[in-house]
C-alpha cells in the first residue's frame, strides 16, 4: 500500500474507531468482543483500502464490514449456546467493566437489556436506524436487503423491545422522550 493511502487509512481508523466500538457493543453486548470486532473489521478494511477509498464511502463500507464480522462471530461454534449439564455458569460481574456498571445504573441499562433480548437481524436494524441515524435506504444497503425488510424488522424489533421493557421503564422512557 502506498504511504498516502496508509496515512488516510490511519486517519480514518483513528477518527471512526470509537463510533465503531459503540456500534459493535450495541450489537453484541460485550465490550471486549466489541473491541475484537472493530479490530477484525479494521484489518479487513486495511486489506481493501486502496479499492475502497475510490468509492468515496468508507464509512458505509466500515459499517457493513463490522456487521458482517459480528454475524460471522455469531456463527462460530464456540459462540453457540452452552450445553445444559445442570451447572449454573458464573454470573457477570458488573463491577469489572466500569462502562457496563454505569450503564446498569440508569435507563440505558434497561434499554440495552431489551435490545439484547431481540434477534440479531432486528437488533442490527434498530442499531443502524436509531443509534446510527441511517435512513431506511442506507440501512437496507448496509444489510444487503430490501427497504421493506428493514421496515418490517424495525417494527418487529421495536415491538419486541417494548414487550421486554417493564411498565415502569416504559413510562420513564415516554416521559424522557416527551
**Distance (Å, whole) CA 55 – CA 136:** 21
User: pLDDT averaged over the chain?
Assistant: 81
Question: Residue 139 domain-assigned?
Answer: yes
Question: Residue 140 domain-assigned?
Answer: yes
The distance from CA 162 to its chain's CA centroid, rounded to whole angstroms, is 19
Domain boundary among the residues 39, 62, 77 is at: 77
- The pTM of this model reads 0.62
Count Cβ atoms below 10 Å from residue 117 Cβ, excluding itself. 13
Angle between helices 147-164 and 136-143 (to 10 degrees): 100
Instruction: Over range 142-167, report the average pLDDT.
Output: 87
Contact between 110 and 169 (Cβ < 8 Å)? yes
Count Cβ atoms below 10 Å from residue 105 Cβ, excluding itself. 9
- For residues 113 and 159, membership in a common domain is answered with yes
Domain boundary among the residues 18, 45, 77 is at: 77
Question: Residue 86 domain-assigned?
Answer: no
Q: Summarize pLDDT for 26-80 with one digit per residue, the tens.
A: 888 888 999 999 999 999 999 988 887 777 788 888 988 999 999 888 887 766 5
Instruction: Over range 9-19, report the average pLDDT.
Output: 92
- For residues 66 and 129, membership in a common domain is answered with no
- For residues 43 and 106, membership in a common domain is answered with no
Q: Summarize pLDDT for 38-51 with one digit per residue, the tens.
A: 999 999 999 988 88
Question: Residue 129 domain-assigned?
Answer: yes
Contacts of residue 58, defined as CB under 8 A and 6 or more positions apart, other chains included, come to 12, 45, 52
Question: Sorting pLDDT into bands at 50, 70 and 90, what band is 94?
Answer: low
pLDDT at 95 over 60: no
Question: Residue 94 domain-assigned?
Answer: no
> How long a stretch of residues is the chain?
178
| Percentage with pLDDT > 90 across the chain | 30
Question: Residue 23 domain-assigned?
Answer: yes
- For residues 54 and 112, membership in a common domain is answered with no
- For residues 66 and 34, membership in a common domain is answered with yes
Q: Which domain holds residue 36?
A: 1-77
Run of H or E residues at 15: helix 3-28
- For residues 64 and 134, membership in a common domain is answered with no
Amino acid at each position: 500500500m502506498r504511504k498516502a493511502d496508509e496515512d488516510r487509512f490511519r486517519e480514518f481508523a483513528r477518527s471512526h474507531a470509537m463510533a465503531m466500538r459503540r456500534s459493535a457493543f450495541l450489537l453484541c453486548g460485550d465490550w471486549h468482543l466489541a473491541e475484537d470486532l472493530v479490530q477484525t473489521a479494521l484489518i479487513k478494511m486495511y486489506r481493501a483500502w486502496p479499492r475502497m477509498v475510490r468509492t468515496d464511502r468508507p464509512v458505509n463500507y466500515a459499517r457493513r464490514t463490522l456487521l458482517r464480522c459480528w454475524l460471522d462471530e455469531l456463527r462460530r461454534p464456540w459462540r453457540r449456546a452452552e450445553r445444559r449439564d445442570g451447572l449454573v455458569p458464573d454470573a457477570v460481574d458488573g463491577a469489572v467493566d466500569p462502562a457496563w456498571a454505569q450503564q446498569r445504573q440508569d435507563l440505558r441499562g434497561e434499554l440495552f437489556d431489551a435490545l439484547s433480548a431481540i434477534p440479531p437481524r432486528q437488533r442490527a436494524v434498530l442499531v443502524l436506524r436509531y443509534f446510527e441515524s441511517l435512513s431506511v435506504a442506507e440501512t437496507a444497503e448496509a444489510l444487503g436487503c430490501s427497504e421493506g425488510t428493514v421496515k418490517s424488522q424495525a417494527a418487529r424489533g421495536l415491538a419486541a423491545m417494548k414487550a421486554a421493557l417493564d411498565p415502569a421503564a416504559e413510562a420513564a422512557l415516554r416521559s424522557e422522550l416527551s
